[in-house]
Amino acid sequence: MTAVVMKGISKAFGGVKALDNVDFAVMLGEIHALLGGNGAGKSTILKVLNGVHRPDAGTIVVGGVALTTHTPEASRAAGIAMNFQEMSLIPTLSVAQNIFLTREARTARGFLDDAACEKKAAEIFAMLEVKVDPKAVVGTLGAGQKQLTEIAKAISQSSKVLILDEPSTALAVSDVDRLFTFLRKLKAQGVAVIYVSHRMDEIARIADRATILRDGKHVITAPLSDLPIDTMIEHIVGKRSKGLADVQRGAVTRGEVLLEARSLSGVHKPHDVSFALHRGEVLGLAGLLGSGRSSLARVIAGIEPATAGELRIRGEVVSIRKPADAIQAGVALVPEARATQGIIPAHSVASNIVLAVLNRISAKGVVDRAKAQKITDNMIAQLQIKTASRDHAVSTLSGGNQQKVVIGKWLATDPDILVLDEPTAGIDIGSKSEIIRLVRDLAAQGKGIVMISSELSELLTACDRILVMADGRAHQMIDRATLDDPAEPDLGHRLQAAERQLQIEIQKALSQETPHG
Amino acid sequence: MAERIPAFLANWRQNIIYIGFVVIFVIFALTLSDKGFLNPTNLLNIIRQTAMIAVMAVVMTFVLASGEIDLSIGAVAGLTTVTVAMTIAVAGPFAGVMAGVATGIAVGCFNGWLTTRIGIPSFLTTLAMMGIAKGVAMWISDTAAVPILSPGYSWAFGGGSIGPVPVLLFWMLVAGALGHFVLRRTGFGRRVLATGGGETAARYSGIDTANIKFKVLVLSSFAAAIAGMLYAGRLQSGRFQLGEGDELSVIAAAVLGGTSLFGGKGTVVGTIVGALMIGLINNGLILMGLEFSQQLIARGAIIIFAVALSQKRA
C-alpha cells in the first residue's frame, strides 16, 4: 500500500530548476529516508508535498486520493504533518500552546482549555520519554527542547504521513534513541515516515528504504540493505564538481603562524578546539549543520564570546570580546547570510565597500570622496566585480558579484586573516569557481583564510588543510593532498574520489561521537 | 495562594505594574490625605477620567500583540462624538448610537484594508487616518461644538451614575472583562498572540494572519468609537477636540501593563492597571498643586522609570 505517490514533479524558482521531473513514493508503515547534498531538492519536494510550494508540473496522490489544492491546510487535511526546523514555532507562546496552535482543546462552551492542552502535550512527551515542560515559553528554550517541541507538534496531528526534516540536529544522543523507538512504534501502526538527515549512521539505523536526489533529479530508490554507506555517498556526490576541478591550487608557501587557537571553547560550541592557521594557506572547516563550524568562526570574529582557551594572533594572546576587537586585530568575517549580514542592498557598490573603513577615510567626520572612490575602484578591479558603475545599487548585481562586494568590503579593512562562512551559498556554479579562485589568490598574496562550506567539492578545491568537526569538537586535521589519488589522471574523477573520502571522514567523526550509532 | 506570592515577587520585573500601582497609591494616600486623595469622590473621579483611555487600551493590547499599531484612535473618538451628536440632533439617540458604531467600523475597515491588502504599514495608515478623521470632524461640525439634548443617552454613555458609582466604571469593567476573556480563552485571542509572536510561523501553522490583523484594526476603531460616544455622553456634546492625543496615553497604558510594542505579548489586566496608573498619577500631581508644565514632566519621568524597571537586562 502506498501512502504517497508523487509523479513527475517539477518546480523552478526564477528560472533555476529545483526539481526536474521527480518521482517519489512512500509506502504505509515504512520509514523512508530522503537523501541528497545541498541544493539536491530535498526541502523543495517536501515543501511541495506539504503544500508550501505549488508544483509547476506533476501529480500528488495521498492515500489513494489526488491532491489538487496546494496549501498547508489542504495537505494537513490529507493527513500530512511536517516539522519545519524551528520555522513553525512562535517564541512568545508556551510549548503546549505551540503544539496545539489552531487545534486547541476546547471546553464544553468552546473556549480554549490550556490545562487540557498541557496535559495532552505532557502525554506526548511522556510517550517520547523526553522531558520538556509544556508550560515553558518557547523563546526561553534551548535548541534541543525547541526541536522536541517541533517534533511533538508534528506527531500530535496523528497524521498518516509524518515528515521529519533533520529532526536530530540539536538533539542529544539519548533523545535521538527515544525518537527512533517512537518512530518504530508509529511505523508498526502503519504511519509512513519520511526522514531527512545528513547523518548516514542515523539513516542506516532507522530507515527501511531510501530515495536519493541530486541536482533536482531522482537518482535511486532502494532498500537500505542495497545501500551501504559508501554507495549512498557515491549516489549523493555523483558526477558533479564540473567547473571546480580546473581551479588550480598551485604550490603553497606557508608562512608564519597567523592565528592559533588553543583549547578554544564557546558558550555551547565549539568545544576545546585547537588549530593553527599559517600565512598563505586556506584552512577549511568541514562538518554537518550543528557541528560548530559557524560558532567557531563567530568566536574568532568576536560575535560570540570565548569561554575557555586562548586565541593567539601572530603569536600574541589576544582578547576578542566584540567584533571591533577582531577587526582591530586584523580578523575579518564574511558572514553567512549575505543579504542581511553582509551588504545593504539598496546602497551603492561604493558605499558598501567603504562601510567598514569610514573612520579611516574621513577627516573631521566628513568622508573623503576621492579616497572612497579610489578604494572602490581598486576593489572592483582586484576582485573583478561586474557592475555598471561604482554608484549602482548592490541589489542590481548578480549573487556572485554581490558576494565579491562583501569580500571587498572586508578586504578594505586590510585584514591578515579572513574568515569566510559559506561564501558560495546561493550563487551559480560559474561564479562559485570564480570566488574559489579569488580565495586562492588572496591566500597566495599572503593572507590566512578560514573557509566554511557545506559543499565538500568546494572545500576540497579551495583548501590546503581541512579540519573535520562534529558536535562542536575538532576531530582531525586532514592535509588536502592526502585525499588525492595521484594515479587518477582525470581531475574531475580525482575530485569526486576525494569528496567521497572526505564525506566518509565526516561520517566517521559523527559515529565516534555516538559510539552506539 | 500563599505559595504564589514569592513567585510573584521573584518575577517582579514582569509584575512591576502591579507593584508600582500599589506603591504610588500608598505614597499618594500618605502624602495627599489632607488634600482629599482618599475621598471616595476623588477616587471615583479617577475612574471617570480613566474609563475612555481604558476602553481603548483594552483593544490596543490586541493591536500591539498582533504586531501592529493604531495611532488614529484619538481622532476617531473625536470624529465619533461629532457624528453621534449630529445624528442625535436629527434622528434621536438610537440612530446616534448606530452612527457612532458605523463611524468606528467604517474607519477600521479602511485602516485594515490599507494595511493588510495594500500593504501600507499600520503606523503610516493610522497616522494618515489621524489627520483625515480630525479633518472630517472639523469640516462636518464647522469646528463648533454640537450639543446633545438627550438625557437618556448622556446617562447611559458616561454621564450617569447608579448611586455613587459612575456608569463609566461599568463600561470599563465590561470592556476589561470581555477583552481579558477574548485574549486568554478564545481561538481568536490565541491567533492574535501567535500572529504578533511570529508571523511566518503562524502562517505555516495555518493562521490567516492578514485576516487577524484586519479584524484587530477594525476592533480598534470600534473601541475608539465607543470611547468617543462616552466622551459625547459625559460632556453632552460632540467636538472634534475630544480624545485628541489619547493615542499616546493609550499606548503608554498598554506598554506599562506589559504589552510588547513588538508583538506577541500582552495582558488586558495589566493594560487596565496601566490605564488606572496613568489616571492615578495625573490626579495625584494635580492634588499636589503642580502646574500643568510640571505635571507633564513628572508624568513622563514616572512612565519612563516604570518601563525601564520592567526591562530585562541582557
Phi, psi for B264 (deg, rounded to 5):
90, -20
pLDDT band at A517 (very low <50, low <70, confident <90, very high): very low
Q: Is residue A449 a contact partner of residue A268, using CB atoms and an 8 Å limit?
A: no
Query: Which of these ranges, A4-8, A71-75, A283-287, B182-186, has the smallest mean pLDDT?
Result: A71-75
Q: Residue A102: which of B193, B205, B263 has the nearest Cβ? A: B205
Place of cell 495594500: B118
* DSSP one-letter string for B244-262: TTHHHHHHHHHHHTT--TT
Judged by CB atoms closer than 8 Å, whether chains meet at A104 and B260 is answered as: no
pLDDT for A239 equals: 63
Place of cell 503544500: A51
Residue B1 has pLDDT above 60, yes or no: no
> How far is residue B69's CA from residue B187's CA, in Å, rounded to a whole number?
21
Up-side HSE of residue A322: CA atoms within 13 Å toward CB?
A: 1
Residue A413 has pLDDT above 70, yes or no: yes
Per-residue pLDDT tens digits for B226-262: 999 999 999 999 999 999 989 989 999 999 888 988 8
CA distance B262 to chain A (A): 11
> How far is residue B118's CA from residue A488's CA, in Å, rounded to a whole number?
61
Residue A513 has pLDDT above 80, yes or no: no
CA-closest candidate to residue B286, choices B36, B103, B83, B96:
B36
Residue A367 has pLDDT above 50, yes or no: yes
Residue A109 has pLDDT above 60, yes or no: yes
What residues form DSSP beta bridges with A164? A195
pLDDT for A168 equals: 81
CA-closest candidate to residue A401, choices A425, A431, A433:
A431
Residue A421 has pLDDT above 60, yes or no: yes
Residue A445 has pLDDT above 80, yes or no: yes
Mutate to test the interface with B, among A89, A90, A111, A163 (most CBs of B within 10 A): A90
Under 8 Å CB-to-CB from B168, ≥6 apart: which residues? B47, B48, B51, B52, B158, B230, B234
Strands A31-35 and A192-196: what pairing? parallel
Judged by CB atoms closer than 8 Å, whether chains meet at B260 and A89 is answered as: no
> How far is residue B34's CA from residue B128's CA, in Å, rounded to a whole number?
46
Q: Residue A92: which of B185, B186, B197 has the nearest Cβ? A: B197
pLDDT for A51 equals: 87
Residue A512 has pLDDT above 80, yes or no: no
Least CA distance to B66: which residue of chain A?
A: A92
> How far is residue B197's CA from residue B14's CA, in Å, rounded to a whole number?
18
CA B40 remoteness from chain centre: 24
CB pairs under 8 A between A and B: 61
- Could you count the other beta carbons within 10 Å of the beta carbon of residue A456? 25
Q: Residue A87: which of B187, B204, B263 has the nearest Cβ? A: B204
Up-side HSE of residue A343: CA atoms within 13 Å toward CB?
A: 27
Q: Which three cell numbers stand for residue A487?
A: 594515479
- Could you count the other beta carbons within 10 Å of the beta carbon of residue A96? 29
Residue A85 has pLDDT above 70, yes or no: no
Rg (CA), chain B: 20
Per-residue pLDDT tens digits for A167-189: 887 777 778 888 898 889 889 98
Between A103 and B78, name the one with better pLDDT: B78
CA-closest candidate to residue A475, choices A297, A288, A205:
A288
Residue ranges in A238-368 assigned as alpha helix (H): 293-300, 323-328, 349-353
- When the pLDDT of each residue in chain A is averaged and rounded to a whole number, the result is 86
> How far is residue A260's CA from residue A279's CA, in Å, rounded to a whole number?
11
Phi, psi for B313 (deg, rounded to 5):
-75, 145
CA-closest candidate to residue A326, choices A340, A311, A336, A338:
A311
- Say what the ipTM of the complex is: 0.79
Judged by CB atoms closer than 8 Å, whether chains meet at B201 and A97 is answered as: no
pLDDT for A246 equals: 63
Chain B residues with at least one Cβ partner in A under 8 Å: 181, 184-187, 189-191, 193-194, 196-198, 200-202, 204-207, 260, 263-265
Residue A240 has pLDDT above 70, yes or no: no
pLDDT for A252 equals: 67
- Could you count the other beta carbons within 10 Å of the beta carbon of residue A185? 11
Least CA distance to A53: which residue of chain B?
A: B204
Per-residue pLDDT tens digits for A288-326: 877 888 889 989 988 888 999 999 999 899 988 888 888
Judged by CB atoms closer than 8 Å, whether chains meet at B196 and A112 is answered as: no
Per-residue pLDDT tens digits for B39-65: 888 999 999 989 999 999 999 999 999
Question: Which chain B positions have a beta carbon within 8 Å of A111's beta carbon?
Answer: 181, 185-186
Integer CA distances (angstroms), A263 to A273, A417, A478, in order: 5, 19, 18
Judged by CB atoms closer than 8 Å, whether chains meet at A76 and B260 is answered as: no
Residue A218 has pLDDT above 90, yes or no: yes
The amino acid occupying position A439 is: V
* DSSP one-letter string for B13-64: TTTHHHHHHHHHHHHHHHHSGGGTTTSHHHHHHHHHHHHHHHHHHHHHHHHH
Judged by CB atoms closer than 8 Å, whether chains meet at B197 and A90 is answered as: yes
Residue A514 has pLDDT above 80, yes or no: no
pLDDT band at A221 (very low <50, low <70, confident <90, very high): very high
pLDDT band at A44 (very low <50, low <70, confident <90, very high): confident
Q: Is residue B68 a contact partner of residue B212, using CB atoms and an 8 Å limit?
A: no
Between A229 and B114, name the one with better pLDDT: B114
Up-side HSE of residue B312: CA atoms within 13 Å toward CB?
A: 6
Mean pLDDT throughout B199-221?
Answer: 91
Per-residue pLDDT tens digits for A45-71: 998 998 888 999 999 999 888 988 888
pLDDT for A258 equals: 93
pLDDT band at A516 (very low <50, low <70, confident <90, very high): very low
